[in-house]
């Protein structure tokens, strides 16, 4: 059997709106398309036999026409190099009436799986088993075993392995796959999509989630990649290749012992990066001497990041004295309003009003 090279990717979610990024949302949508083009470049550079896409190439089943045309043009580049593309649809771009997979004509090198069960497609000495995503409950590997013949056999599946903790994920139970099913499937490699970080599923068969190649949210790990899958003389090797342009990072800062904003400024300066999407969460119970001005901090530092989000989650110090002074009566009045308020936004504004008001009184008294 000849040597075989494949690129495994998934979950590009082309067309995602990225509303959380405000006026940078369109730029990050373009980032995702640029990364897709870079993956095509990588396939050509590595002279791979095929590109595998394990679902959710698009964020919706009916993406904008211009976006579909962009993807088709990129696929044409692979056709010119005689590189095939295998696509198993995902829960965001399922195979159904009216979907992109049925409404557009893709180049002849594109193989889109349409069966509800794993079906083999054999090309140039290797076989890809894939299936269409038509519902959320199908168990793709249940009762499946690949055919017994001398070929490099790959499963291309969008689904959820049961050893992942999905408690915090809204799509926890979609297309369940067990370790026992992976162990007994008789495939040489299982290319998974649906989980957005690169991860190996430990089993008798090499099995990986490639993760999304460009980060989609603050849940993503810092680095994203595609997987270069190489098969030679019975051995399968997996090499991650970094692909992301931007990084999403979350930084939680306890401000309890801070006396001024200068300490927060030092942290923002230290962590700056033109390709970084940073969410900094300010926590703790600092003294009233810390006069937080979130908007000023954002204006000062947002040019040093691709996108900067500053979240004010600090709380009032516990030792505010409610005595018979004007200061004490003010504290008691505002704290009683804070206690009654149910809306978290209004509660935060009241806390800030108390912080600013006491600071003003301390300067005047």
Q: How far is CA 24 from the centre of its chain?
A: 17
Phi, psi for residue 68 in degrees, rounded to 5: -65, -40
Output the six-digit token pair for 223: 């680095």
Cβ-Cβ contacts under 8 Å for 347 (sequence gap 6 or more): 338, 341
Report pLDDT for 271. Answer: 96
Output the six-digit token pair for 282: 């300010």
Cβ-Cβ contacts under 8 Å for 46 (sequence gap 6 or more): 5, 7, 228
Report pLDDT for 342. Answer: 86
| Cα dihedral value 35, 221, 131, 161, nearest 10 | 170
Report pLDDT for 75. Answer: 98
Q: What pTM, to 2 d.p., does this model score?
A: 0.89
Give the pLDDT of the chain (365 residues) as one tens digit per residue: 579 999 999 999 999 999 999 999 999 999 999 999 999 999 999 999 999 999 999 999 999 999 999 999 999 999 999 999 999 999 999 999 999 999 999 999 999 999 999 999 998 889 999 999 999 889 999 999 998 877 899 999 999 987 666 565 556 668 999 999 999 999 999 999 999 999 999 999 999 999 999 999 998 888 999 999 999 888 999 999 999 999 999 999 999 999 888 999 999 999 999 999 999 999 998 877 777 888 999 999 999 999 999 998 888 777 777 778 888 888 888 888 888 888 888 888 888 788 777 777 766 55
Per the document, the length of the chain is 365
CB 42 within 8 A of CB 242: no
Helix residue ranges, H only, 113-184: 179-183
Report pLDDT for 170. Answer: 56
Choose among 308, 306, 331: nearest CA to 318.
331
- How far is 248 from 222, CA to CA, in rounded Å? 6
Output the six-digit token pair for 235: 């051995």
User: In sequence order, what are the beta bridge partners of 206?
Assistant: 189
Report pLDDT for 142. Answer: 94
Q: How far is CA 268 from CA 113, 255, 285, in A?
A: 47, 13, 20
Output the six-digit token pair for 30: 């373009």
∠ CA(100), CA(105), CA(111), 5° rounding? 85
Report pLDDT for 49. Answer: 96
Report pLDDT for 332. Answer: 87
Report pLDDT for 349. Answer: 83
H or E stretch including 67?
helix 65-80
For residues 186-215, b (16+ Cβ closer than 10 Å) or e, as one string? ebbbbbbbbbbbbbebebebbbbbbbbbbb
User: In sequence order, what are the beta bridge partners of 152?
Assistant: 126
Report pLDDT for 100. Answer: 97
Domains of the chain: 4-242 (3.60.21.10), 247-364 (no CATH)
């Amino acid at each position: 059997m000849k040597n075989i090279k494949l690129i495994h990717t998934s979950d590009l979610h082309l067309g995602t709106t990225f509303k959380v990024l405000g006026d940078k949302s369109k730029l990050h949508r373009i980032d995702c398309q640029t990364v897709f083009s870079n993956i095509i470049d990588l396939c050509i550079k590595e002279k791979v036999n095929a590109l595998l896409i394990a679902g959710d190439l698009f964020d919706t089943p009916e993406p904008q026409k211009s976006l579909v045309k962009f993807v088709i043009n990129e696929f044409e580049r692979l056709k010119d190099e005689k590189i095939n593309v295998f696509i198993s649809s995902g829960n965001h771009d399922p195979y159904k009436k009216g979907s992109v997979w049925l409404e557009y004509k893709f180049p002849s090198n594109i193989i889109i799986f349409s069966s509800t069960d794993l079906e083999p497609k054999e090309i140039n000495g290797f076989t890809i088993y894939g299936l269409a995503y038509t519902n959320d409950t199908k168990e793709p590997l249940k009762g499946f075993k690949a055919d017994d013949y001398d070929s490099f056999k790959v499963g291309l599946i969008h689904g959820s392995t049961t050893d992942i903790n999905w408690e915090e994920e809204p799509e926890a139970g979609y297309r369940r796959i067990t370790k026992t099913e992976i162990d007994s499937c008789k495939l040489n490699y299982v290319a998974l999509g649906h989980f957005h970080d690169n991860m190996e599923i430990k089993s008798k068969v090499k099995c990986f989630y490639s993760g999304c190649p460009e980060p989609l949210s603050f849940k993503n790990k810092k680095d994203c990649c595609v997987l270069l899958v190489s098969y030679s003389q019975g051995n399968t090797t997996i090499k991650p290749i970094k692909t992301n342009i931007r990084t999403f990072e979350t930084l939680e800062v306890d401000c309890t012992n801070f006396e001024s904003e200068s300490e927060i400024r030092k942290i923002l300066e230290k962590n700056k990066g033109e390709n970084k999407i940073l969410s900094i969460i300010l926590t703790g119970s600092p003294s009233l001497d810390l006069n937080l001005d979130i908007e000023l901090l954002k204006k000062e530092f947002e040019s040093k990041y691709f996108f900067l989000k500053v979240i004010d989650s600090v709380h009032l110090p516990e030792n505010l004295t409610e005595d018979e002074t004007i200061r004490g009566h003010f504290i008691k009045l505002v704290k009683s309003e804070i206690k009654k308020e149910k809306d978290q936004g209004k509660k935060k504004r009241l806390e800030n009003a108390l912080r600013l008001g006491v600071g003003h009184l301390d300067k005047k008294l």
